[in-house]
A = this chain, B = another copy of it.
Amino acid sequence: MDEGRALLSTRVANTLLGAKESWTRRMFEQAAALRKQGGGPVYDLSLGNPSLEPPPRWTQALHELLDDPTLGTHRYMTNAGFAHVREFIAEREAQRFDLPVTAAHITMTVGAAGGINVLMRAMLNPGDQVLVPIPYFIEYNHYCANAGAELVAAPSAEGFTLDVDALVERLTPRTRLLLINSPNNPSGAVYTAEKLTRLADALRDANVGRPQPIVVVEDSPYRDLTHDGRPAASMMGCYEHTIHLTSHSKDLGLAGERIGYIVISPRTAGSDLLARAFAFCNRVLGFVNAPALMQRALPLVLGRDDGKVDVEVYARRCRRMAEGLSALGFSVMPPKAGFFLFPALPEALRDEEGGDVALTDKLLAERTIVVPGVAFGVPGHLRLSMSADDEAVEGALAAFQRVCG
């Protein structure tokens, strides 16, 4: 498999061929190998691929748009996105955050992943630091590397809540962004408004004397997947230097269609120039613009009762698995949002070095695929995605019972 190595950039070659294990790839290959072998179903809880289909309203909106005789709707538009779509999004975000958000603060992006890369390229110099609470979405490492920046990880408090002091301790003159993801992948934690306000106060103190403020980047693709239906708390209201990102990969089940957006807080000084930089980076990084048809569907779908997936399906699966695991001695936070569970292993297994990896292997032998916590820098845990279907959830739970019961 080394043939062709000389054709690759050193960084990519080292990542693909290096000794450092990629858990994503390992899980993916194991699942593929199991499926190829045959011998019954594979219970794959390793991927955060939304199993709920886009709502019927979305399908209907697309039919309508395709029959719309307006010319030019599939051409390039300004790199920030269609003006009428950005106006629609701005109005909703203004209401959500009670801030004077306008179309000028919105950049439509190729999913949230596209948005984060655009933002980092626009804002970071090589050597700048991005502070992130543990555990975090492992792709952040790559996104920071793309901009030549350094990811600095900070521990969280009990129950994976924000540890404001731990974050503040890790600030350096090179810290430019604080990247938070709430509801969190992988932990499922939802940061409270109280904690976010405390963080805002601490950052304002830290900003005194700095040439530019520390900017909070909220990566919030699960924001509308709270199990109680209330929107997750945000720093948009309490910290002026906040940039918020989201996508419709999960709430509309459109992960493969690549539609998301960036919202710049209208209270950030220099928001006009930031918006120009985001549009510019959308262009020069090769995204050019968010897919046109997906943009135009949003005003026809969002905010309607029939314009979202049924979160209760994910919530029910989360509760079912959490109860089953608790009965086996796992320590599981009550799931509040999204579809990830991040249970701590039972005491006996938790303290064992490599206990999460050993359990992952035992579950694999039972045709069940999970990700060990060590992949997120938190050994002694497993990450389980309840975006799999009911059969996978039941099959995996039975496997847990055989292995740990």
**Chain A interfacial positions (CB closer than 8 Å to B):** 1-13, 15-17, 47, 49-51, 53-54, 59, 62-63, 66, 71-77, 110-111, 113-118, 121-125, 139, 142-143, 145-147, 211-212, 215, 253-258, 268-274, 276-277, 280-281, 283-289, 291-294
**A212→B255 contact, CB < 8 A:** no
Q: A114-B287, A257-B293, A273-B8 are in contact. Are A75 and B62 (CB under 8 A)?
A: no
5 closest A-B pairs by CB: A4-B270, A256-B292, A117-B286, A142-B284, A4-B273
Q: Which residue of B lies closest to A47 (CB)?
A: B76
A392 to chain B, nearest CB (A): 13
**A75→B255 contact, CB < 8 A:** yes
23 A-B contacts (beta carbon < 8 Å): A1-B273, A2-B273, A4-B272, A4-B273, A7-B123, A8-B122, A8-B273, A49-B75, A53-B72, A59-B66, A74-B253, A76-B256, A110-B286, A118-B286, A121-B146, A143-B284, A146-B284, A146-B285, A255-B288, A256-B289, A257-B293, A258-B287, A285-B285
A9 to chain B, nearest CB (A): 5
**B110→A255 contact, CB < 8 A:** no
Q: Which residue of B lies closest to A259 (CB)?
A: B291
**A270→B7 contact, CB < 8 A:** yes
Bound CA–CA A354/B59 (angstroms): 53
Of B16, B63, B212, which one neighbours A273 at CB under 8 angstroms? B16
